[in-house]
Amino acid sequence: MLEVSVRKRLGPGFTLDVDFAAPPGVTVLFGASGSGKTLTLRAVAGLLRPDAGRVSAGGRVLFDSDSGIDIPVARRRVGYLFQNLALFPHMTALENVEFAAGGVPRGERRGRALSLLERLGVAHAAGRRPREVSGGEAQRVALARALAASPRVLLLDEPLSALDEPVRLRIVKDLKELNEELRLPVLYVTHSRDEALLLGGRAVIYERGRVAAEGSPEELFAAPASETVARLTGVENIFEGTVVARDEGAGTMSVELKGPGGLACRVEVPLGQSAEGARVRVAVRSGDILLAAEEPHNISARNVLRGRVSAIEERSAHTLVRVESGVTWAASVTRHALEQLGLRPDREVWLAFKTYSCRVYE
């Protein structure tokens, strides 16, 4: 178990103040740039000295401001994979990994380095220098190097951000399988929802230097506990509205959403505490919205809105269709659905989504 409780003031406008525990397995640190994720890794590694707090791994105290404990970086047994990899350019892949295995008896270092390269699928690149391998191969070599000294904790700072999505997701899968055997606490910084969901385990969501939410990625992304978390986890539709009616019997209420130029639409949402006339925020994931070329009938979705396509945006794994219907909605569709429905700018369409696809922040 890795336990992190640190506070560090950095200038007048930002203070890192986080407290969480990371069990063996992957804990994803997720949040906007500048929210303190990398600073946390640096504090765990010993590269940043907190003003106050405590860091321990497996019961071994690495830092404790009250007791004056601050274990030097080289003795913390923390593996750190930087975003830029920091492989030595003049060394081969094998030499890079051997160099990191300084705590292993000299006669065993080469064998350990070769074993790690093989387990990560890059043994064929052992004799090559970093400039002679692909981006994905370099990432695997850097990961082998981070594991070479048998660390107690592994820190990964957006290690795959420069790679194409298919390569990135393959390496994530391999890392997850490898750690099922190693059972290390891993702190993994990422901006990718796909990476976070594929890694599973736990997620800690950061906002401006503090922990905004903790839990499994599936839970946090599917049902964000606050509007802030909804925005950070990629909910595309968040609108301000006014409660115009409540139906206690049905367990629902009607909210009018206001768009630009006085345009508006009404949606049915789960019943909350807000009284009629209260201002609320309504959030709906783009993936929860269905699009239809004709008005749908006899469906369970209570929200059916007519609109007009205003823009189509290609994304890596899907297509985002923006539809004007009082407010500007974003709906995710596959490329096949885009062609099948004949979607194009200015095309009239219908949006449909269920009451309980709406999250209400009061």
pLDDT tens digits for range 267-287: 999 999 999 999 999 999 998
Region 172-176: mean pLDDT is 79
Q: Provide the pLDDT for residue 70.
A: 96
Same domain, 335 and 312: yes
Angle at 227 between CA 222 and CA 230, to 5 degrees: 35
**pLDDT band for position 316 (cuts 50, 70, 90):** low
Indicate whether 100 and 53 sit together in one domain: yes
The tens digit of pLDDT for each residue in 94-142 reads 999 988 887 777 778 888 889 889 888 889 999 999 889 888 888 889 8
> What six digits make up the tokens of 61?
């105290």
226 in the same domain as 250: no
Please, what's the largest Cα pairwise distance for the chain?
A: 76
- Shared domain for 226 and 247, answered yes or no, is no
Tokens for 174? 């391999």
Whether the per-residue pLDDT at 79 is higher than 80: the answer is yes
Total tally of structural domains belonging to the chain? 2
Indicate which CATH number applies to the domain containing 338: 2.40.50.100
* Structure-block tokens of residue 325: 């219907």
Q: Are strands 25-31 and 78-81 parallel, antiparallel or unpaired?
A: unpaired
- Which CATH number characterizes residue 41's domain? 3.40.50.300
**Domain extent for 25:** 2-231
DSSP code of residue 274 = P
Type of residue at 278: A
Cβ proximity of 345 and 269 under 8 Å: no
Looking at 231, 260, 289, the residue that finishes a domain is 231
Residues 329 and 220 occupy one common structural domain: no
Domain match, 96 and 208 both:
yes
70 and 151 assigned to the same domain: yes
In terms of domains, do 225 and 246 share one? no
Same domain for 222 and 296, yes or no, is no
Last residue in a domain, options 231, 249, 283: 231
Helix axes 135-147, 93-100, angle to 10 degrees: 20
Full-model pTM: 0.76
Q: Which of 97, 112, 89 has its CA nearest to residue 143? A: 97
Strands 327-333 and 60-64: unpaired
Residue pLDDT, tens place only, 147-165: 888 889 999 988 777 677 7
Tell me the pLDDT tens digit for each residue of 193-208: 777 887 878 999 998 8
pLDDT at position 262, please? 79
DSSP string, 278-343: -EEEEEE-GGG-EEESS---S-S-SEEEEEEEEEEEE-SSSEEEEEEESEEEEEEE-HHHHHHHT-
- For 168-225, the three-class secondary structure string (H helix, E strand, C coil) is HHHHHHHHHHHHHHHCCEEEEEECCHHHHHHHCCEEEEEECCEEEEEECHHHHHHCCC
Which of these three, 192, 211, 231, is where a domain ends?
231
Residue type, 15: T
* Whether residue 272 sits in one domain with residue 205: no
CB 269 within 8 A of CB 360: yes
Give the Cα separation of 176 and 161 in Å (integer).
17
Claim to verify: residue 65 and residue 185 sit in the same structural domain: yes
